[in-house]
Amino acid sequence: MKLKVIVHEASEGGFWAEVPALPGCATEGDTFEELLQHLYEAVEGCLAVPIVPEPSDEHTHIMEIAV
């Protein structure tokens, strides 16, 4: 699996990163190497969280598509 990551330089020093494909998945590090280590841990944690589907009724349909 490949994920795009946006890396930012933190104003107080170091770096922080976010993974747009995984809302809420972000981390930080004092060095770029530390950021990468934390990033792998954060993505693994975000992917390990079970996704609870939204409640549906007869007027709502949940679909999955591949693009």
Q: Give the helix/strand (H/E) hosting 17.
A: strand 15-18
Which of these, 25, 15, 23, 19, lies nearest to 6 by C-alpha position?
19
Mean pLDDT of the 39-61 span: 84
Query: Residue 58 — pLDDT band, cuts 50, 70, 90?
Result: confident
User: What CA–CA distances, in Å, run from 42 to 7, 14, 24, 30, 60?
Assistant: 14, 17, 10, 15, 32
User: Is the pLDDT reported for residue 62 higher than 80?
Assistant: no
- Residue-wise pLDDT for 2-37, tens only, equals 999 999 999 999 999 999 999 999 999 999 999 999
Whether the CB-CB separation of 5 and 19 falls below 8 Å is answered with yes
Q: How is the chain split into domains, by residue range?
A: 6-48
